[in-house]
A and B are shown apart, each in its own frame.
Chain A
């Protein structure tokens, strides 16, 4: 089975043989018993997460129901909406990522650019090399995986770079005082931020199959595909995420750096005012 066909199998999990039949809403309702267990634990142990659990459960239901109907609509001869779906995903991811990058001016456009670069660059390569077909059923699920992973990378890079430059203000300004351009002066901290952003995916790739059976592979196996077909898809996904996150780290690191310095190679005012 090719990777493309494997994706199609994952998407068809609703009638998957791995469950012995389609998962009905009644089945989903029964699974709420497990949420009830979590609620009881939270309540009895006074963890105080009951409302969070309720909101998370309700939101996941509504959001997945909505995306289910949307994907169903797009997959039924409305492929032109693929770009819209991906754009909405990128926008939502950018808002979430920017929310974790307090103190970075222009965090939203930076995150949007980085995540879009990750999605566009990675999907572009996959399509150009004809590894996958330009079909909504393939592009949307793969795109969502790239976007989700790039969102985390972008958050890490933006927040780490901002935080490190604030903490290391004395060292950064010592380099600037020696006549180094801001890009050169900040290079050690930019390098650290890129490492921070990219390492989780690299580590995940290193231990895949040893520590966990990741999502795409698990989905295929549950859907009844052979494990050998599942690993081919999983490898594709892992390599795709490595590439996508590199795009996201590079773009977010570069754009964040530009926004944390003035054109005159000064740290921005809020960083200058931070006691070193």
Chain B
């Protein structure tokens, strides 16, 4: 398996000491990688390093063999789409939310709103609904659709099921699996070890301990 993303001896400092230290791992292309670990282990921080919402204080993160800091950051963020733990909807309709980022991707046109909604299992009829009236599960899927609209190379998901009920969780996990099967590189962070079952590749993230790590 070719590594698309590599963490090399990464250290991220918090206010009270390292959040992550000496972390190394690789993420293969076109697979579903699950990064699993307990709360507070720094999983979200590791994900934020991918699209440079944060930068490491030590070590490096490589994307396609190059340090992420060598890319144009806005281009990198469009290529590596990060979807947060809590779905964020912007004022306006679902369609407006999906089209929000398109000018940044160089697409001044309308876009296939119905197609994106269908891809994440949402009724295309939701396009005209105000985004803040969606259920949490629908909003989470809409956020996925918004990211997919940018045709990313990597989808980085931060605890994508944590805010959902049991029925919605299973549906979102199936959706994520299907996205990976379609050839998209997916990195999912979770505290739930059961999600490792659907992964092609599992990375375990342990909390930083001064005794264990430098």
Contact = CB atoms under 8 A, between A and B. Distances in A.
Interface residues of A, number: 18
B77 to A, nearest CB: 5
A129 B63 CA distance: 58
Interface in B35-61: 51-55
Contact of A273 (B14, B55, B81, B105): B14
Contacts of B15: 273
Interface string A261-276: 0001111000011000
Q: Which 8 A-B pairs have the closest CB atoms?
A: A178-B101, A174-B88, A179-B78, A179-B104, A177-B82, A179-B77, A264-B73, A179-B74
Identify which of A170, A177, A265, A266 gathers the most chain B CB atoms within 10 Å of its CB. A177
Nearest to B102: A178
Nearest to B101: A178
Given A176-B77, A180-B104, A264 B52 contact: yes
B90 A170 contact: no
Contact of A173 (B53, B81, B101, B150): B53
Contacts of A179: 74-75, 77-78, 101, 104-105, 150
B147 interface: yes
B114 interface: no
B146 interface: yes
A171 interface: yes
A174 B73 contact: no
A153 B113 CA distance: 42
A181 B74 contact: yes
B53 A266 contact: yes
B22 interface: no
